[in-house]
Structure 1
Amino acid sequence: MPRSDTEADWTAPVADDPWTHDTVSANGVRLHAVTAGPEDGDLVVLLHGFPEFWYSWRHQIPPLAEAGYRVVAPDMRGYNRSEKPSGVDAYHIDELVSDVAGVVHAFDRESAHIVGHDWGGLVAWQTAIDRPGLVDRLAVLNAPHPTKYERTLRSNPAQLAKSWYVGFFQLPELPERALGAMDYEAIERLLGEGTVRPDAFSERDIERYKTALDRPGARTAALNYYRALARRNAKLTLTRGGVGDLPVRAPTLLVWGEQDAALDVSLTEGLREWVPDIRVERLPDASHWVQFDAPQRVNELLLEHLD
Protein backbone atom coordinates (compact mmCIF):
# COMPACT_ATOMS: atom_id res chain seq x y z
CA MET A 1 0.00 0.00 0.00
CA PRO A 2 1.20 3.57 -0.62
CA ARG A 3 2.55 5.30 2.40
CA SER A 4 0.63 8.11 4.08
CA ASP A 5 0.72 11.56 2.50
CA THR A 6 0.13 13.67 5.56
CA GLU A 7 1.88 17.00 6.01
CA ALA A 8 3.71 15.53 9.00
CA ASP A 9 5.62 13.28 6.62
CA TRP A 10 7.24 16.29 4.99
CA THR A 11 7.76 18.73 7.82
CA ALA A 12 11.12 19.02 9.56
CA PRO A 13 11.48 17.13 12.83
CA VAL A 14 12.47 20.33 14.66
CA ALA A 15 9.32 22.21 15.62
CA ASP A 16 11.05 25.61 15.71
CA ASP A 17 11.99 25.50 12.02
CA PRO A 18 8.98 27.07 10.28
CA TRP A 19 9.84 26.42 6.67
CA THR A 20 7.26 26.83 3.97
CA HIS A 21 6.19 24.45 1.22
CA ASP A 22 5.86 26.18 -2.16
CA THR A 23 5.31 25.29 -5.80
CA VAL A 24 7.78 26.92 -8.19
CA SER A 25 7.33 27.06 -11.96
CA ALA A 26 10.72 26.58 -13.60
CA ASN A 27 11.64 25.62 -17.16
CA GLY A 28 8.12 24.46 -17.91
CA VAL A 29 7.80 22.13 -14.90
CA ARG A 30 6.27 22.54 -11.48
CA LEU A 31 8.74 21.95 -8.69
CA HIS A 32 7.84 21.48 -5.06
CA ALA A 33 10.24 23.42 -2.86
CA VAL A 34 10.81 24.24 0.77
CA THR A 35 11.75 27.83 1.56
CA ALA A 36 13.08 29.47 4.69
CA GLY A 37 14.80 32.64 5.80
CA PRO A 38 14.15 36.33 5.12
CA GLU A 39 12.75 37.12 1.68
CA ASP A 40 15.33 39.85 1.10
CA GLY A 41 18.30 37.64 2.00
CA ASP A 42 20.85 36.43 -0.54
CA LEU A 43 19.40 33.43 -2.33
CA VAL A 44 20.84 29.96 -1.66
CA VAL A 45 19.55 27.06 -3.79
CA LEU A 46 20.12 23.57 -2.35
CA LEU A 47 20.12 20.69 -4.86
CA HIS A 48 19.72 17.14 -3.55
CA GLY A 49 20.99 13.88 -5.02
CA PHE A 50 19.82 10.31 -5.63
CA PRO A 51 17.60 8.89 -4.19
CA GLU A 52 16.67 11.91 -2.10
CA PHE A 53 14.46 15.00 -1.97
CA TRP A 54 14.45 18.39 -0.21
CA TYR A 55 14.55 16.71 3.20
CA SER A 56 18.20 15.82 2.63
CA TRP A 57 19.06 19.43 3.55
CA ARG A 58 17.23 19.35 6.89
CA HIS A 59 20.45 19.99 8.84
CA GLN A 60 21.53 22.86 6.59
CA ILE A 61 18.30 24.83 6.06
CA PRO A 62 17.93 26.18 9.64
CA PRO A 63 21.48 27.57 10.11
CA LEU A 64 21.51 29.10 6.63
CA ALA A 65 18.14 30.76 7.23
CA GLU A 66 19.21 31.96 10.67
CA ALA A 67 22.29 33.52 9.06
CA GLY A 68 19.99 35.65 6.91
CA TYR A 69 19.94 33.71 3.65
CA ARG A 70 16.81 33.11 1.63
CA VAL A 71 16.99 29.32 1.30
CA VAL A 72 15.24 27.31 -1.41
CA ALA A 73 15.46 23.50 -1.39
CA PRO A 74 13.49 22.11 -4.34
CA ASP A 75 12.53 18.55 -5.06
CA MET A 76 14.37 18.20 -8.36
CA ARG A 77 12.24 17.25 -11.36
CA GLY A 78 10.92 13.73 -11.04
CA TYR A 79 11.37 13.52 -7.29
CA ASN A 80 8.82 13.48 -4.48
CA ARG A 81 6.16 16.16 -5.07
CA SER A 82 7.71 17.74 -8.15
CA GLU A 83 6.36 17.17 -11.65
CA LYS A 84 7.67 14.07 -13.41
CA PRO A 85 8.08 14.65 -17.16
CA SER A 86 8.03 11.45 -19.20
CA GLY A 87 10.92 10.15 -21.26
CA VAL A 88 14.65 9.91 -20.68
CA ASP A 89 15.49 13.06 -22.62
CA ALA A 90 13.51 15.14 -20.12
CA TYR A 91 16.32 14.44 -17.63
CA HIS A 92 19.24 15.54 -19.78
CA ILE A 93 21.70 17.74 -17.92
CA ASP A 94 20.73 20.78 -20.02
CA GLU A 95 17.15 20.51 -18.75
CA LEU A 96 18.35 20.19 -15.17
CA VAL A 97 20.53 23.29 -15.50
CA SER A 98 17.58 25.17 -16.97
CA ASP A 99 15.53 24.10 -13.94
CA VAL A 100 18.08 25.75 -11.66
CA ALA A 101 17.94 28.93 -13.71
CA GLY A 102 14.16 28.83 -13.54
CA VAL A 103 14.20 28.50 -9.76
CA VAL A 104 16.56 31.46 -9.39
CA HIS A 105 14.46 33.63 -11.70
CA ALA A 106 11.24 32.54 -9.99
CA PHE A 107 12.53 34.32 -6.89
CA ASP A 108 13.22 37.47 -8.92
CA ARG A 109 16.97 37.05 -8.78
CA GLU A 110 19.58 37.14 -11.52
CA SER A 111 22.00 34.93 -9.58
CA ALA A 112 22.30 32.87 -6.42
CA HIS A 113 24.62 30.73 -4.36
CA ILE A 114 24.26 27.15 -5.61
CA VAL A 115 24.90 24.18 -3.31
CA GLY A 116 24.61 20.59 -4.49
CA HIS A 117 25.20 17.05 -3.25
CA ASP A 118 25.59 13.92 -5.40
CA TRP A 119 23.43 14.40 -8.54
CA GLY A 120 22.59 17.88 -7.30
CA GLY A 121 26.33 18.49 -7.19
CA LEU A 122 26.72 17.41 -10.83
CA VAL A 123 23.96 19.84 -11.78
CA ALA A 124 25.60 22.56 -9.70
CA TRP A 125 28.95 22.01 -11.46
CA GLN A 126 27.31 22.14 -14.87
CA THR A 127 25.31 25.25 -13.98
CA ALA A 128 28.51 27.04 -13.01
CA ILE A 129 30.15 25.93 -16.28
CA ASP A 130 27.27 26.71 -18.63
CA ARG A 131 25.74 29.74 -16.92
CA PRO A 132 28.51 31.46 -14.99
CA GLY A 133 26.51 34.62 -14.46
CA LEU A 134 23.88 32.65 -12.57
CA VAL A 135 26.22 31.42 -9.82
CA ASP A 136 27.61 33.78 -7.16
CA ARG A 137 29.34 31.09 -5.11
CA LEU A 138 29.38 27.36 -5.69
CA ALA A 139 29.51 24.62 -3.05
CA VAL A 140 29.58 20.92 -3.95
CA LEU A 141 29.37 17.93 -1.61
CA ASN A 142 30.70 14.57 -2.84
CA ALA A 143 30.08 15.10 -6.52
CA PRO A 144 32.95 15.13 -9.03
CA HIS A 145 33.78 17.85 -11.51
CA PRO A 146 32.48 16.47 -14.85
CA THR A 147 35.77 16.55 -16.76
CA LYS A 148 37.68 15.07 -13.85
CA TYR A 149 35.12 12.29 -13.54
CA GLU A 150 35.18 11.47 -17.25
CA ARG A 151 38.97 11.26 -17.31
CA THR A 152 39.09 9.22 -14.11
CA LEU A 153 36.64 6.68 -15.52
CA ARG A 154 38.98 6.18 -18.48
CA SER A 155 42.16 5.90 -16.43
CA ASN A 156 41.19 4.46 -13.04
CA PRO A 157 39.80 0.90 -13.06
CA ALA A 158 38.88 1.20 -9.38
CA GLN A 159 36.53 4.11 -10.08
CA LEU A 160 35.09 2.33 -13.10
CA ALA A 161 34.32 -0.67 -10.89
CA LYS A 162 32.73 1.57 -8.25
CA SER A 163 30.45 3.02 -10.93
CA TRP A 164 28.99 -0.39 -11.87
CA TYR A 165 25.50 0.66 -10.81
CA VAL A 166 25.33 3.25 -13.62
CA GLY A 167 25.41 0.37 -16.11
CA PHE A 168 22.76 -1.56 -14.19
CA PHE A 169 20.47 1.47 -14.18
CA GLN A 170 20.41 1.45 -17.99
CA LEU A 171 18.30 -1.72 -18.05
CA PRO A 172 14.56 -1.31 -18.60
CA GLU A 173 12.22 -1.92 -15.66
CA LEU A 174 14.54 -4.18 -13.65
CA PRO A 175 16.20 -1.31 -11.72
CA GLU A 176 12.76 0.09 -10.81
CA ARG A 177 11.73 -3.31 -9.45
CA ALA A 178 15.02 -3.72 -7.61
CA LEU A 179 14.65 -0.34 -5.89
CA GLY A 180 11.12 -1.11 -4.75
CA ALA A 181 11.67 -4.74 -3.78
CA MET A 182 10.98 -5.84 -0.21
CA ASP A 183 9.60 -2.44 0.79
CA TYR A 184 12.58 -0.52 -0.60
CA GLU A 185 15.16 -2.59 1.21
CA ALA A 186 17.84 -1.23 -1.13
CA ILE A 187 17.13 2.31 0.06
CA GLU A 188 17.27 1.22 3.68
CA ARG A 189 20.68 -0.38 3.10
CA LEU A 190 21.97 2.56 1.08
CA LEU A 191 21.07 5.11 3.74
CA GLY A 192 21.11 3.06 6.91
CA GLU A 193 24.35 1.20 6.25
CA GLY A 194 26.12 3.67 3.98
CA THR A 195 27.01 6.27 6.60
CA VAL A 196 29.79 6.45 9.16
CA ARG A 197 27.49 7.60 11.96
CA PRO A 198 25.07 4.81 12.88
CA ASP A 199 22.43 7.37 13.89
CA ALA A 200 22.73 9.54 10.77
CA PHE A 201 19.30 8.37 9.55
CA SER A 202 16.51 7.47 11.94
CA GLU A 203 13.88 4.90 11.01
CA ARG A 204 11.45 7.76 10.45
CA ASP A 205 13.95 9.49 8.15
CA ILE A 206 14.33 6.36 6.03
CA GLU A 207 10.56 5.98 5.89
CA ARG A 208 10.33 9.50 4.46
CA TYR A 209 12.81 8.64 1.71
CA LYS A 210 10.90 5.48 0.89
CA THR A 211 7.63 7.40 0.74
CA ALA A 212 9.08 10.03 -1.59
CA LEU A 213 10.41 7.36 -3.95
CA ASP A 214 7.11 5.46 -3.79
CA ARG A 215 5.20 8.25 -5.52
CA PRO A 216 3.93 7.29 -8.98
CA GLY A 217 6.70 7.69 -11.54
CA ALA A 218 9.36 8.71 -9.04
CA ARG A 219 11.57 5.62 -9.38
CA THR A 220 11.68 5.82 -13.17
CA ALA A 221 12.34 9.56 -13.06
CA ALA A 222 15.23 9.13 -10.63
CA LEU A 223 16.78 6.41 -12.78
CA ASN A 224 16.30 8.50 -15.92
CA TYR A 225 18.96 10.90 -14.65
CA TYR A 226 21.49 8.10 -15.15
CA ARG A 227 19.93 6.91 -18.38
CA ALA A 228 20.10 10.40 -19.89
CA LEU A 229 23.73 10.63 -18.83
CA ALA A 230 24.61 7.34 -20.51
CA ARG A 231 22.76 8.26 -23.70
CA ARG A 232 25.22 11.10 -24.09
CA ASN A 233 28.11 8.67 -23.97
CA ALA A 234 28.77 9.45 -20.31
CA LYS A 235 29.36 13.12 -21.13
CA LEU A 236 27.58 15.92 -19.35
CA THR A 237 27.80 18.29 -22.32
CA LEU A 238 27.67 17.68 -26.05
CA THR A 239 29.02 20.37 -28.34
CA ARG A 240 30.93 22.68 -26.05
CA GLY A 241 34.38 21.25 -26.87
CA GLY A 242 34.49 18.90 -23.91
CA VAL A 243 32.60 17.89 -20.80
CA GLY A 244 33.67 20.87 -18.74
CA ASP A 245 36.49 22.63 -20.53
CA LEU A 246 35.26 26.09 -19.60
CA PRO A 247 36.62 27.16 -16.21
CA VAL A 248 34.31 27.62 -13.26
CA ARG A 249 34.49 31.32 -12.46
CA ALA A 250 32.61 31.24 -9.18
CA PRO A 251 34.51 30.82 -5.91
CA THR A 252 34.06 27.13 -5.18
CA LEU A 253 34.01 24.93 -2.09
CA LEU A 254 34.28 21.16 -2.53
CA VAL A 255 33.47 19.14 0.60
CA TRP A 256 34.31 15.45 0.38
CA GLY A 257 33.60 12.61 2.78
CA GLU A 258 36.60 10.35 2.23
CA GLN A 259 34.72 7.15 3.08
CA ASP A 260 32.60 7.39 -0.07
CA ALA A 261 31.93 3.87 -1.34
CA ALA A 262 31.03 5.03 -4.86
CA LEU A 263 33.42 7.90 -5.60
CA ASP A 264 37.20 7.72 -5.25
CA VAL A 265 38.89 10.42 -3.21
CA SER A 266 41.29 11.03 -6.12
CA LEU A 267 38.41 12.92 -7.75
CA THR A 268 39.23 15.82 -5.42
CA GLU A 269 42.76 16.24 -6.82
CA GLY A 270 44.10 18.40 -9.63
CA LEU A 271 40.99 20.52 -10.08
CA ARG A 272 42.54 23.97 -10.44
CA GLU A 273 42.89 23.42 -14.19
CA TRP A 274 39.11 23.80 -14.42
CA VAL A 275 38.30 25.53 -11.12
CA PRO A 276 40.94 28.21 -10.42
CA ASP A 277 39.30 29.49 -7.22
CA ILE A 278 38.63 26.29 -5.30
CA ARG A 279 38.89 25.19 -1.69
CA VAL A 280 38.81 21.44 -1.06
CA GLU A 281 37.87 20.14 2.37
CA ARG A 282 38.24 16.38 2.80
CA LEU A 283 36.56 14.90 5.86
CA PRO A 284 38.15 11.55 6.78
CA ASP A 285 35.36 10.49 9.14
CA ALA A 286 32.49 11.03 6.71
CA SER A 287 30.95 9.03 3.89
CA HIS A 288 29.20 9.97 0.65
CA TRP A 289 26.41 11.23 2.93
CA VAL A 290 28.73 13.88 4.31
CA GLN A 291 26.03 16.35 5.37
CA PHE A 292 24.58 13.66 7.65
CA ASP A 293 27.84 12.24 8.99
CA ALA A 294 29.28 15.67 9.77
CA PRO A 295 26.41 18.18 9.70
CA GLN A 296 27.99 20.71 12.04
CA ARG A 297 31.27 20.82 10.11
CA VAL A 298 29.46 21.03 6.77
CA ASN A 299 27.36 23.91 8.08
CA GLU A 300 30.46 25.73 9.31
CA LEU A 301 32.13 25.33 5.93
CA LEU A 302 29.09 26.49 4.03
CA LEU A 303 28.59 29.57 6.18
CA GLU A 304 32.28 30.47 5.87
CA HIS A 305 32.21 30.04 2.11
CA LEU A 306 28.97 31.89 1.42
CA ASP A 307 29.78 34.86 3.64
Structure 2
Amino acid sequence: MDSYTRDGLVFDVRDGGPADGDPVVLLHGFPQDATAWTAVAGDLHAAGLRTLAPDQRGYSPGARPSGRSSYRVRELTADVLVLLDAAGLGSAHVVGHDWGAVVGWALAAWHPERVRTLTAVSVPHPAAMAQAFVTSDQALRSSYMALFQLPVLPERLLLARDGAALRWMLLTSGLSPELSEHYVRRMQEPGALATALAWYRALPFDARDPVGTVRVPTLHLWSTRDAALGRTATERSRRFVDAPYRLEVLEGVPHFIPEVAPGRVAELVTEHVRAHG
Protein backbone atom coordinates (compact mmCIF):
# COMPACT_ATOMS: atom_id res chain seq x y z
CA MET A 1 0.00 0.00 0.00
CA ASP A 2 1.59 3.25 -1.15
CA SER A 3 -1.48 5.46 -0.78
CA TYR A 4 -5.16 5.55 0.10
CA THR A 5 -7.99 7.99 -0.57
CA ARG A 6 -10.70 9.67 1.46
CA ASP A 7 -13.21 12.16 0.02
CA GLY A 8 -10.96 12.86 -2.94
CA LEU A 9 -7.83 13.36 -0.82
CA VAL A 10 -4.83 11.12 -1.48
CA PHE A 11 -2.68 10.10 1.49
CA ASP A 12 0.84 8.71 1.06
CA VAL A 13 1.57 5.67 3.25
CA ARG A 14 4.68 3.65 4.07
CA ASP A 15 3.59 0.03 4.49
CA GLY A 16 6.34 -2.32 5.64
CA GLY A 17 7.23 -5.44 7.56
CA PRO A 18 5.73 -8.93 7.39
CA ALA A 19 2.24 -8.87 5.87
CA ASP A 20 0.95 -11.23 8.56
CA GLY A 21 2.52 -9.34 11.46
CA ASP A 22 0.48 -7.53 14.07
CA PRO A 23 -0.31 -4.14 12.49
CA VAL A 24 1.07 -0.96 14.03
CA VAL A 25 -0.05 2.46 12.76
CA LEU A 26 2.63 5.15 13.21
CA LEU A 27 1.40 8.76 13.33
CA HIS A 28 3.89 11.62 13.04
CA GLY A 29 3.70 15.14 14.45
CA PHE A 30 4.69 18.68 13.48
CA PRO A 31 6.53 19.43 11.24
CA GLN A 32 7.46 15.86 10.40
CA ASP A 33 6.25 13.20 8.00
CA ALA A 34 6.30 9.40 7.94
CA THR A 35 10.09 9.35 7.69
CA ALA A 36 10.15 10.25 11.40
CA TRP A 37 9.44 6.57 12.00
CA THR A 38 11.97 5.05 9.58
CA ALA A 39 14.39 3.73 12.20
CA VAL A 40 11.61 2.70 14.61
CA ALA A 41 9.78 0.87 11.82
CA GLY A 42 12.91 -1.07 10.86
CA ASP A 43 13.20 -2.45 14.39
CA LEU A 44 9.50 -3.22 14.55
CA HIS A 45 9.75 -5.15 11.27
CA ALA A 46 12.65 -7.15 12.69
CA ALA A 47 10.40 -7.99 15.65
CA GLY A 48 7.76 -9.38 13.27
CA LEU A 49 5.40 -6.41 13.23
CA ARG A 50 3.82 -4.75 10.22
CA THR A 51 3.80 -0.95 10.14
CA LEU A 52 1.62 1.59 8.36
CA ALA A 53 3.01 5.13 8.51
CA PRO A 54 0.95 7.76 6.67
CA ASP A 55 1.90 11.29 5.77
CA GLN A 56 -1.10 12.78 7.51
CA ARG A 57 -3.60 15.43 6.40
CA GLY A 58 -1.79 18.58 5.38
CA TYR A 59 1.49 16.68 4.95
CA SER A 60 0.61 14.43 2.00
CA PRO A 61 0.75 16.67 -1.11
CA GLY A 62 -2.56 15.19 -2.29
CA ALA A 63 -4.31 15.80 1.03
CA ARG A 64 -4.07 19.52 1.75
CA PRO A 65 -7.64 20.86 1.93
CA SER A 66 -8.14 24.52 2.72
CA GLY A 67 -9.80 25.90 5.85
CA ARG A 68 -8.84 25.24 9.46
CA SER A 69 -12.07 23.31 10.14
CA SER A 70 -10.74 20.61 7.81
CA TYR A 71 -8.06 19.89 10.43
CA ARG A 72 -10.26 19.19 13.44
CA VAL A 73 -9.23 16.09 15.38
CA ARG A 74 -12.48 14.43 14.28
CA GLU A 75 -11.26 14.70 10.68
CA LEU A 76 -7.78 13.51 11.58
CA THR A 77 -9.08 10.43 13.37
CA ALA A 78 -11.45 9.67 10.49
CA ASP A 79 -8.43 9.65 8.16
CA VAL A 80 -6.87 6.87 10.23
CA LEU A 81 -10.10 4.86 10.29
CA VAL A 82 -10.21 4.99 6.50
CA LEU A 83 -6.55 3.89 6.42
CA LEU A 84 -7.46 0.83 8.50
CA ASP A 85 -10.37 0.07 6.19
CA ALA A 86 -8.18 0.45 3.10
CA ALA A 87 -5.64 -1.95 4.61
CA GLY A 88 -8.38 -4.45 5.46
CA LEU A 89 -7.80 -4.11 9.18
CA GLY A 90 -10.51 -4.17 11.79
CA SER A 91 -8.10 -2.80 14.37
CA ALA A 92 -4.43 -2.02 14.93
CA HIS A 93 -1.95 -0.93 17.53
CA VAL A 94 -1.60 2.86 17.35
CA VAL A 95 1.59 4.80 18.06
CA GLY A 96 1.58 8.59 17.80
CA HIS A 97 4.16 11.28 18.45
CA ASP A 98 3.44 14.97 19.07
CA TRP A 99 0.22 15.78 17.15
CA GLY A 100 0.11 12.13 16.17
CA ALA A 101 -0.25 11.35 19.88
CA VAL A 102 -3.27 13.67 20.07
CA VAL A 103 -4.85 11.71 17.22
CA GLY A 104 -3.95 8.49 19.01
CA TRP A 105 -5.56 9.57 22.29
CA ALA A 106 -8.72 10.56 20.42
CA LEU A 107 -8.86 7.34 18.40
CA ALA A 108 -8.50 5.24 21.53
CA ALA A 109 -11.23 7.20 23.36
CA TRP A 110 -13.72 7.52 20.50
CA HIS A 111 -13.09 4.25 18.66
CA PRO A 112 -11.69 1.71 21.15
CA GLU A 113 -12.90 -1.18 18.99
CA ARG A 114 -10.37 -0.12 16.32
CA VAL A 115 -7.39 0.37 18.68
CA ARG A 116 -5.70 -2.70 20.17
CA THR A 117 -3.18 -0.67 22.18
CA LEU A 118 -2.13 2.97 22.31
CA THR A 119 1.39 4.32 22.61
CA ALA A 120 1.39 8.10 23.10
CA VAL A 121 4.84 9.62 22.60
CA SER A 122 5.57 13.01 24.19
CA VAL A 123 2.07 14.57 24.25
CA PRO A 124 -0.20 13.84 27.24
CA HIS A 125 -3.93 13.21 27.22
CA PRO A 126 -5.65 16.43 26.03
CA ALA A 127 -7.64 16.78 29.25
CA ALA A 128 -4.47 16.47 31.33
CA MET A 129 -2.86 19.08 29.10
CA ALA A 130 -5.77 21.47 29.63
CA GLN A 131 -5.56 21.08 33.41
CA ALA A 132 -1.82 21.66 33.39
CA PHE A 133 -2.32 24.99 31.63
CA VAL A 134 -3.70 26.44 34.87
CA THR A 135 -1.70 24.47 37.45
CA SER A 136 1.86 24.48 36.08
CA ASP A 137 4.23 26.16 33.64
CA GLN A 138 2.59 24.39 30.70
CA ALA A 139 0.94 27.56 29.37
CA LEU A 140 4.37 29.20 29.13
CA ARG A 141 5.83 26.12 27.46
CA SER A 142 2.98 26.18 24.92
CA SER A 143 3.03 29.92 24.24
CA TYR A 144 4.18 29.30 20.66
CA MET A 145 0.68 27.94 19.97
CA ALA A 146 -0.72 31.45 20.34
CA LEU A 147 1.65 32.66 17.62
CA PHE A 148 0.60 29.78 15.38
CA GLN A 149 -3.02 30.94 15.62
CA LEU A 150 -2.19 34.09 13.67
CA PRO A 151 -2.76 34.05 9.90
CA VAL A 152 0.20 34.26 7.49
CA LEU A 153 2.74 35.68 9.97
CA PRO A 154 4.01 32.31 11.32
CA GLU A 155 4.62 31.04 7.79
CA ARG A 156 6.59 34.17 6.93
CA LEU A 157 8.65 34.01 10.11
CA LEU A 158 9.46 30.30 9.89
CA LEU A 159 10.29 30.25 6.19
CA ALA A 160 12.14 33.57 5.92
CA ARG A 161 15.76 33.37 4.76
CA ASP A 162 15.34 29.87 3.34
CA GLY A 163 13.63 28.53 6.46
CA ALA A 164 16.28 29.69 8.91
CA ALA A 165 13.94 29.98 11.91
CA LEU A 166 12.32 26.60 11.33
CA ARG A 167 15.74 24.99 10.80
CA TRP A 168 17.02 26.53 14.05
CA MET A 169 13.94 25.31 15.94
CA LEU A 170 14.48 21.75 14.75
CA LEU A 171 18.22 21.70 15.37
CA THR A 172 17.89 23.10 18.90
CA SER A 173 15.19 20.50 19.60
CA GLY A 174 17.70 17.71 19.07
CA LEU A 175 17.21 16.71 15.44
CA SER A 176 20.17 15.96 13.20
CA PRO A 177 21.11 18.45 10.47
CA GLU A 178 20.02 15.91 7.85
CA LEU A 179 16.54 15.40 9.28
CA SER A 180 16.14 19.09 10.04
CA GLU A 181 16.93 19.92 6.43
CA HIS A 182 14.52 17.26 5.18
CA TYR A 183 11.62 18.67 7.22
CA VAL A 184 12.44 22.25 6.23
CA ARG A 185 12.38 21.28 2.56
CA ARG A 186 9.04 19.53 3.00
CA MET A 187 7.56 22.59 4.69
CA GLN A 188 8.78 24.75 1.81
CA GLU A 189 6.49 22.89 -0.60
CA PRO A 190 3.62 25.14 -1.78
CA GLY A 191 0.99 25.31 0.96
CA ALA A 192 2.67 22.71 3.17
CA LEU A 193 3.45 24.85 6.20
CA ALA A 194 0.03 26.53 6.16
CA THR A 195 -1.76 23.19 6.22
CA ALA A 196 0.57 21.84 8.90
CA LEU A 197 -0.17 24.90 11.04
CA ALA A 198 -3.88 24.41 10.39
CA TRP A 199 -3.79 21.61 13.00
CA TYR A 200 -3.04 24.32 15.59
CA ARG A 201 -5.52 26.75 14.09
CA ALA A 202 -8.30 24.17 14.45
CA LEU A 203 -7.80 24.02 18.23
CA PRO A 204 -10.84 26.26 18.96
CA PHE A 205 -13.03 23.64 17.27
CA ASP A 206 -11.36 20.80 19.18
CA ALA A 207 -11.92 22.52 22.53
CA ARG A 208 -15.65 21.92 22.08
CA ASP A 209 -15.15 18.21 21.37
CA PRO A 210 -13.48 16.58 24.41
CA VAL A 211 -11.51 13.37 23.97
CA GLY A 212 -12.74 11.60 27.11
CA THR A 213 -11.54 8.45 28.86
CA VAL A 214 -9.30 5.94 27.10
CA ARG A 215 -10.16 2.31 27.71
CA VAL A 216 -7.40 0.48 25.85
CA PRO A 217 -3.97 -0.54 27.20
CA THR A 218 -1.82 2.58 27.08
CA LEU A 219 1.92 3.22 27.06
CA HIS A 220 2.99 6.84 27.50
CA LEU A 221 6.55 7.90 26.66
CA TRP A 222 7.87 11.27 27.83
CA SER A 223 11.39 12.70 27.77
CA THR A 224 12.95 14.99 30.35
CA ARG A 225 14.53 17.39 27.83
CA ASP A 226 11.23 18.18 26.13
CA ALA A 227 11.02 21.97 26.31
CA ALA A 228 7.41 22.05 25.10
CA LEU A 229 5.84 19.49 27.44
CA GLY A 230 6.21 19.38 31.19
CA ARG A 231 5.90 16.65 33.79
CA THR A 232 2.58 17.82 35.30
CA ALA A 233 0.37 16.97 32.34
CA THR A 234 2.38 13.82 31.71
CA GLU A 235 1.77 12.44 35.19
CA ARG A 236 -1.92 13.42 35.16
CA SER A 237 -2.62 11.47 31.98
CA ARG A 238 -3.12 8.25 33.91
CA ARG A 239 -6.29 9.78 35.40
CA PHE A 240 -7.89 9.61 31.96
CA VAL A 241 -7.07 5.97 31.21
CA ASP A 242 -9.35 3.21 32.51
CA ALA A 243 -7.13 0.36 31.37
CA PRO A 244 -3.59 -0.91 31.96
CA TYR A 245 -1.33 2.15 31.86
CA ARG A 246 2.44 2.57 31.90
CA LEU A 247 4.48 5.75 31.92
CA GLU A 248 8.05 5.44 30.70
CA VAL A 249 10.34 8.45 31.25
CA LEU A 250 13.34 8.78 28.92
CA GLU A 251 16.06 10.71 30.73
CA GLY A 252 18.04 13.27 28.77
CA VAL A 253 16.11 12.81 25.51
CA PRO A 254 14.66 15.85 23.69
CA HIS A 255 11.22 16.22 22.10
CA PHE A 256 11.79 14.32 18.86
CA ILE A 257 11.86 10.92 20.55
CA PRO A 258 11.22 8.69 17.48
CA GLU A 259 14.22 10.12 15.62
CA VAL A 260 16.57 10.55 18.59
CA ALA A 261 15.86 7.31 20.50
CA PRO A 262 14.35 4.94 17.90
CA GLY A 263 15.78 1.76 19.39
CA ARG A 264 14.26 2.42 22.81
CA VAL A 265 10.92 3.42 21.26
CA ALA A 266 10.80 0.24 19.18
CA GLU A 267 11.74 -1.90 22.19
CA LEU A 268 9.00 -0.40 24.36
CA VAL A 269 6.35 -0.56 21.63
CA THR A 270 7.19 -4.20 20.92
CA GLU A 271 6.89 -5.06 24.62
CA HIS A 272 3.56 -3.23 24.82
CA VAL A 273 2.15 -4.94 21.73
CA ARG A 274 3.20 -8.38 22.90
CA ALA A 275 1.86 -7.81 26.41
CA HIS A 276 -1.56 -6.73 25.21
CA GLY A 277 -1.83 -8.05 21.65
Q: Give the TM-score, by structure 1 length.
A: 0.85
Q: Secondary structure of 2:264's partner? A: helix
* 2:217 counterpart residue number: 251
CA apart distance, 1:80: 4.4
Q: Secondary structure of 1:38's partner? A: coil
Q: Find the aligned partners of 1:252 and 1:28 in 2 and give their Cα distance.
A: 33
* 1:189 counterpart residue number: 168
Give the number of aligned pairs.
273
Paired residues for 1:105-184 under 5 Å:
105-156=85-136, 158-184=137-163
For the 8 Å contact 1:141–1:290, the answer to whether it is kept is yes
- The residue identity in structure 2 corresponding to 1:183 is D
* 1:97 counterpart residue number: 77
Matched, 1:304 2:262: no
For the 8 Å contact 2:131–2:233, the answer to whether it is kept is no
Q: Secondary structure of 2:252's partner? A: strand
Q: Secondary structure of 2:179's partner? A: helix
* 2:21 counterpart residue number: 41
CA apart distance, 1:27: 5.5
Q: Find the aligned partners of 2:180 and 2:134 in 1 and give their Cα distance.
A: 35
Q: 1:186 to 1:127 in 2, by over 3 A?
A: same
Q: Give the TM-score, by structure 2 length.
A: 0.94
Which ranges of structure 2 fall in alignment gaps of 5 or more residues? none
For the 8 Å contact 1:27–1:98, the answer to whether it is kept is no
* 1:25 counterpart residue number: 5
Higher helix residue share: 2
CA apart distance, 1:35: 1.2
4+ residue segments displaced more than 6 Å: none
CA apart distance, 1:289: 1.2
Q: Find the aligned partners of 1:250 and 1:49 in 2 and give their Cα distance.
A: 22
Q: Secondary structure of 1:140's partner? A: strand
Q: Find the aligned partners of 1:28 and 1:249 in 2 and give their Cα distance.
A: 32
Which ranges of structure 1 fall in alignment gaps of 5 or more residues? 1-20
CA RMSD of aligned residues (A): 1.5
Paired residues for 1:202-241 under 5 Å:
203-229=177-203, 231-232=204-205, 235=207, 237-238=208-209
- The residue identity in structure 2 corresponding to 1:103 is L
